[in-house]
Amino acid sequence: SAHPCVPPGPSGGGRRSPHHPWDLEPCCAGPLACPEPVGQNKLDIGDILQQIMTITDQSLDEAQAKKHALNCHRMKPALFSVLCEIKEKTGLSMRNTQEEEPQDPQLVRLDNMLLAEGVAGPEKGGGAAAAVSAATSSGGMSPDSSLEHSDYKSKLSQIRSIYHTELEKYEQACTEFTTHVMNLLREQSRTRPVTPREIERMVAIIHRKFSSIQTQLKQSTCEAVMILRSRFLDARRKRRNFSKQATEVLNEYFYSHLSNPYPSEEAKEELAKQCGITVSQVSNWFGNKRIRYKKNIGKFQEEANLYAMKTALGARQGDDSPHTPNSTGN
């Protein structure tokens, strides 16, 4: 009852011809060599799809053989173009899903820091110089620090070289892996439609993964630099006691203002000048002195008496010695 022009459905029948393409014997002779009735084509396609679906369940050799057979199959170009069409249609919906994302702010910060420290970018020792200048400006740096400076520089250059070696390794691995995947996709594009855009996306995914590894490397490098810097800049590590004369000046002020040992900003500046130290060092000294005195007044009694006597002696001599102005007096 079927019209001779209406081919049977894909699931209809299923009786294979003796020279059926699903035997997957390469049919390299082409369609002319193995003529098939027109109605058979839909059946062919259904079976080809079935074969493709099950190809992953087969062993490598089997799959390879089947792949080769499929590549040579006379229906392949037609099927391929259909797949391309379907893919193009579905591809449209995901076209807008993935666009170039903005640069990771954390990575930007890491890059900037590595650049500022002289780890990334051209070698010039800028980071070390910056550290030194920072140390000197903070007031805690002794002038004869060239030894420590070179120590810092050598350690920084160690970090730098490790960083660059690792970075190079990662970049090489990334390139190798990308090439491998691209080759794989190109190879696959012979049997399934793989658009250049798809390859691009895959490459982008790989780069993202590798860049996250790179971020970790940058993070640990930053940590190493921070530790190095903190060790280098930590003034506690190169503490020098003040001169005897400076301590004397500070103690004189402290004990002569015992009821209110809080020098004004001007007094601090004056004391700093007299002692050859910075104002913040004067502040530190008074901070420490106050707390330590308060904690153990008994221990400081002798010292207090000594300076009280000194002050009294100075006052009796009547000389208008250039002492710092009494802030509150008592």
Partner DNA sequence: TACAATGATTCATA
Partner DNA sequence: TATGAATCATTGTA
Residues lying near DNA in the complex (CB under 7 A) are found at 138, 140, 234-242, 247, 262, 277, 280-281, 283-285, 287-288, 290-292, 294, 299
Closer residue to DNA, CB minimum distance, 89 or 239 = 239
For the record, the structure tokens of 207 come out as: 């780069």
Q: Which is nearer to DNA, 38 or 291 (CB)?
A: 291
* Spatial separation of the C-alpha atoms in residues 208 and 107, rounded to whole Å: 12
User: Cβ neighbours of residue 74 under 8 Å, at least 6 residues apart?
Assistant: 21, 27, 30, 31, 34
CB of residue 271 vs DNA: minimum separation in angstroms? 12
d(CA 71, CA 74): 8
Q: Which is nearer to DNA, 138 or 172 (CB)?
A: 138
Nearest residue (CB) to DNA, 109 versus 237: 237
Tokens representing 235 are 């003034």
Smallest distance, Å, CB 109 to DNA?
A: 20
Number of H helices, E strands in the chain: 11, 0
Rounded least distance, CB 147 to DNA, Å: 13
Least distance between DNA and beta carbon 238 (Å): 6
Q: Are the C-beta atoms of 238 and 142 separated by less than 8 Å?
A: yes
Q: What is the C-alpha separation between 192 and 8, in angstroms, rounded?
A: 27
Question: In angstroms, what is the minimal distance from the CB of 267 to DNA?
Answer: 10
Q: Nearest distance from residue 121's CB to DNA, in Å?
A: 27
CA 49 to CA 43: how far, in whole Å?
A: 10
Name which of 222 and 267 has its Cβ closer to DNA.
267
- What's the min distance (Å) between Cβ of 289 and DNA? 7
Measured between alpha carbons, how far is 326 from 230 in angstroms, rounded to an integer? 39
Comparison of 163 and 253: residue with beta carbon closer to DNA: 253
N-term to C-term CA, the chain: 126
If you ran DSSP here, which 8-state letter would residue 57 be given?
Answer: G
Q: With respect to DNA, which residue has the nearer C-beta, 169 or 299?
A: 299
Q: Using CA atoms, how far apart are residues 45 and 31, in angstroms rounded to an integer?
A: 15
Question: Cβ distance 278 to 272 under 8 Å?
Answer: yes
